[in-house]
Structure 1
Amino acid sequence: MRGRRVQLTQGRETLLLLALMFLFAIWSDAFGAPRRQEAAPRQAPSGSAEGTERRLTEIYRVGPEDVLEITLANDPELPREYRISSSGHIFFPYLGSVAVAGKTTAEIERELHQLLQNGYFENPELTVAVKEYRSHYVYLLGDVGAVGPMILTRERVPLIEILARAGVRPTARRVTLTRWQDGRPTTVVVDLTTPEKYTTLVAPGDILEVQSPREYVFITGEVRTPQAIEYVPGLTLSQAIIHAGGPSEFAKRSRVQIKRRRADGRVEVFQANLDKIIRGQAPDVELHPNDTVYVPRRFW
């Protein structure tokens, strides 16, 4: 019976992961990497805030610490890599310091073309691309495989893409997104059980905390500190009782009861001999979320 429950649980987690991968594939197609025509993204209805946000999923504006790869066909001996300084500039031969932060690669390319055409080359042939993305990132906390900063390659990225890259755990149910605007934090809670919420757009500098509902195991009866213990996978009977301070001097350790509610609502009761478990004569019992452990009292 326990094996069947484990299989059902694993099946639900697998379905959730497959659904997440499917949604990510759809959004990857809709919001791909920045295109070459990033300086002129698709038009949206005038005055549409949603349209403005959507256009930001198609572009990347470079910033400090990004590394540009610039190729000038007219002078192939020039260096090709240029790191953007903290002030937002690069030092380019012929031109000296050039401000590039906040611009797309297409905009930088046009500007360099105009500057080089003014007294250096009649027809400059150059290309500009981002070689290393470093200036845009979000910070991830909570129930994800990759806690910490995550680099972004666009001005806005759908939440589904962030979660897929971070390795969100199947138990995750919501994301708290914090964004600083005008010196003040604003917080939005995204319900992950609602698929349409996965389209929420994430911006550089956002802080995302992925959260799972807390589950507990309840320790009652003849223990020194009866209490609810937060469940973690792999929690065993002996660990839970030790966490509750251990059995009292009146505990009947050979008849510990574990009550577990099944999916159909019925309650199963198991018995375990704590003395034998401690002596290594019986296997420890792995607990499930919402189990109730009752240590009875002995009367002799």
Structure 2
Amino acid sequence: MTSAVTSFFMLAVQRSCLLLVALLLASIDAHAQAAPVDYPLAAGDAVRVQVFQNPDLTLETRISESGTISFPLIGTIRLGGLAVGAAEKRIADALKSGGFLQNPQVTLLLTQIRGSQVSVLGQVGRPGRFPLETASTRLSDMLANAGGATPGGDDVVIVTGQRAGQPFRKLVDVPSLFLRERGEDDIVLQGGDVIYVHRAPVFYVYGEAQRPGSFRIERAMTVMQALALAGGPTARGSRDRLQLHRQQDDGGVALLTPRMNDPVMPNDVIYVRESLF
């Protein structure tokens, strides 16, 4: 009878241990899915840093907007853009090079992911912050999430962020992603990236034009196309008596007599003068 009871309790203990191991593995797997090994740390992420046999150096903090934390003994240290392993090494190297510890063993745990978001700003349908749904979310995906560029938005967008702990900036011609097979420019985004869609460049038409005002410059637009966009000259105006005011690099304004096939530049002012007859 005693042997049967002992066997029963041993079996119960084994089952409990198996259940505990299964729960632990599930927890580890869930954490791995939430924070991949190569996940780049970003502003807003909460971390816990521990140094083996040095409990007084344990730190729970959040990565600042500039990608840094303030760590005991070594002060401000940049972790933004680094994977967890690289961040651990950077802290350990700083402790060793500073003469504080001979062989520091640093462990960094990512306790809360806040940096896995991308900001989309400027001339888009829905500006704001959007989560990175997958590790392979691309620029075109995020622009679609933000409702795309507005009619007044530029075709060239600016992407800024950090890569390998260094500042990152890239200009991307969005139409060329689809029209010219430049898929390599459809970059994979990382947490903390900012996409900015600037206002499209414009030109101005005034004087004897049917619809004077400001207009968006289309690609490779000529003076003839610009004049057509403004409805052409009025009955009193002449397309042969145009004046073009163009801003120079030194801040001055040049007065030109344009030809119909001349390109239109940002902030050009086309003046349609009256006909002589």
Q: Same fold (TM over 0.5)?
A: no
Specify which structure has the higher proportion of strand: 2
- What TM bracket, shorter-length normalisation? 0.3 to 0.5
TM-score by length of 1: 0.37
TM-score by length of 2: 0.39
Larger-Rg structure: 2
